[in-house]
Amino acid sequence: MTNTNQEAHEKLLSEKKRLLETIKLGGGLKNIQKQHERGKLIARERIDYLIDDNTDFFEIGAFVGHDMYPEHGGCPAGGTVGGLGYISGRLCVIVANDQTVKAGAYFPITGKKNLRFQEIAMQNHLPIIYLVDSAGVFLPMQDEIFPDREHFGRVFYNNSLMSGMGITQIAAVLGSCVAGGAYLPIMSDETLMVEGQSSIFLAGPYLVKAAVGEDIDAETLGGAATHTEISGIADYKFKTEQECLDQVKRTISKLGKKTMAGFDRIEPLLPTKNASEILEILPALRTKPYNMLEIIERLVDNSEFDEFKKDYGKTIICGYARIDGWAVGIVANQRMVVKSAKGEVQIGGVIYNDSADKAARFVMNCNQKKIPLVFLQDVTGFMVGSRSEHSGITKDGAKMVNAVSNSIVPKFTIIIGNSYGAGNYAMCGKAYNPHFIYTWHSGKIAVMGGEQAAKTLLQTQVGSMKAKGKELTKEEEDDILQQITERYNAQTTPYYAAARLWVDEIIDPADTRKVISKGIEAANHAPIERDFRTGVFQV
């Protein structure tokens, strides 16, 4: 362990912090000032007012949209602020349109982010609060947000599903709510509006004039008085945002209690090994080995970890522990070069036959015992070559994927380092429906490592040119390789992943215990309603 690792990580964390401060300005200080001049709060101020005093808002997706849509001026935080927060003592999902970003309009990534919050509410049976202030679909990109299965219309489909599931939905309309977006508050359980500020209509005054020739102002067409006194669409009207949000608090305070899943929790204990040392242990260079057990012992209560099949399948570590008092099963990639039970040298970060077999068995055990699963990813993929293929690596890998896919207990994934290829899948990547998935600043997600990918792509490109009769010089090949490498590396950063919601958030390693604990707390609201079955696989 050297200070070199720590210095490199602290630099990256400082860069992340600076970027987050910029993102939190949304559409910029000028647009924030306009909101305030109109007597309106901005999204984060609304959330801060809504949640209980002396509690923290657990933001999800802050980096969504990062460096996307530069031709349209960008979309900080995807134009939506959301996450988990306590309202009147109840854990809720809160979603707030950011009116400072293109008037709260829905970009493609905005729709994806809003659907993610609804998914969290459904998966964890949590009440969801919509703080609505949106101009609707961003028209210049309507073809990428309007018609498809996972586009804007899916929001209202989910409204209907959640209603059928008995999940509380409250819409506080604090500004515009137009076109298709007008369905969201009406499909919620209760709709609240603010006089002189809120509006709900399928078509605004300009479109009404163009369509039917009628002259009408926004307040008369679809304001708070209209919808509480004439149409009956809204349930409450208030003079200020604060009064509106106070009603949300009162409504949530009266919700009945539901059956919990019953995951085991005792009095939490801090790790006896200092979590700040993680930055010293984790190599700055992602190709260097380290002992994952040292990381685990700085995340779990009292640094106690009961390792499962310790001497078998050594490139995956499995075992039981507690995190913030919650019982968990941990599946982690071991990055040390180790020897198998047969004395064979195994490369760290690679999943071998025995490792996959062990992990599958452990995942099944945790499902049998109703213990939530935590995956710590630093994986370069499954072992390749004739020896592995003849030993049935695909079969053993499929067994692990099958067990992870069919798990009924909550799954939480933390990408610590590499997350490559089928290793991403087996270790519960985004495609395998983890309840929450996070990455450290050091995470990299890709189909393979940058160097291997760049050389593979170079060979393909050079081969194509040769087929056309063009020979490249060594300098030309080196130039192409550099371009490919730079482009590929840019697509493997944690920011690229977080911008596209491949992960829920980029977190500081020091916050890992907190995010896992909060995730299990959320998941504990949803009782397990089916038995664990793996289906058919090759044993």
**What is the SS3 assignment for 36-102?**
HHCCCCCHHHHHHHHCCCCCCCEECCCCCCCCCCHHHCCCHHHHEEEEEEEECCEEEEEEEECCCCH
220-234, 335-349, 358-372, 412-426: the lowest-pLDDT one: 335-349
Predicted TM-score of the model (pTM): 0.93
168-182, 293-307, 417-431, 510-524: the lowest-pLDDT one: 168-182
Opening angle at CA 58, ends 55 and 63, nearest 5: 145
Region of residue 188 (left: phi > 0; alpha: psi -120 to 50; beta: else): beta
Higher model confidence: residue 12 or residue 456? 12
CA 292 vs CA 114, 137, 327, 332, 442: distances in Å: 35, 45, 19, 7, 15
Higher model confidence: residue 61 or residue 398? 61
Contact 317, 258 (CB under 8 A): no
**Percent of all residues in the chain with a pLDDT value above 70, rounded to a whole number:** 97
The two beta strands, 58-59 and 80-87, are antiparallel
- pLDDT (0 to 100) of residue 411: 98
pLDDT of 451 over the 80 cut? no
- pLDDT (0 to 100) of residue 375: 98
Q: How far apart are CA 430 and CA 498, in angstroms?
A: 11
110-119, 299-308, 389-398: the lowest-pLDDT one: 389-398
Token pair belonging to 194: 């603010």
Task: Write 243-247 long-range contacts (CB < 8 A, 24+).
Answer: 243/194, 244/172, 244/174, 244/192, 244/193, 244/194, 245/46, 245/49, 245/50, 245/172, 247/192
Contact 387, 352 (CB under 8 A): no
pLDDT of 249 over the 70 cut? yes
- β-sheet bridge partners, residue 318: 308, 331
Q: How far apart are CA 478 and CA 491, in angstroms?
A: 20
Q: What average pLDDT score do residues 450-461 get?
A: 73
What is the crossing angle of helices 43-50 and 241-253, to 10°? Answer: 40
How do residues 34-52 score in pLDDT, each as one tens digit? 999 999 999 999 999 999 9
- pLDDT (0 to 100) of residue 1: 43
Q: What average pLDDT score do residues 261-287 get?
A: 95
Contact 516, 393 (CB under 8 A): no
CA 451 vs CA 203, 301, 385, 455, 488: distances in Å: 53, 38, 19, 6, 9
- pLDDT (0 to 100) of residue 539: 55
What is the band of 181 on the pLDDT scale with cuts at 50, 70, 90?
confident
Please state, rounded to an integer, the average pLDDT across all residues of the chain: 92
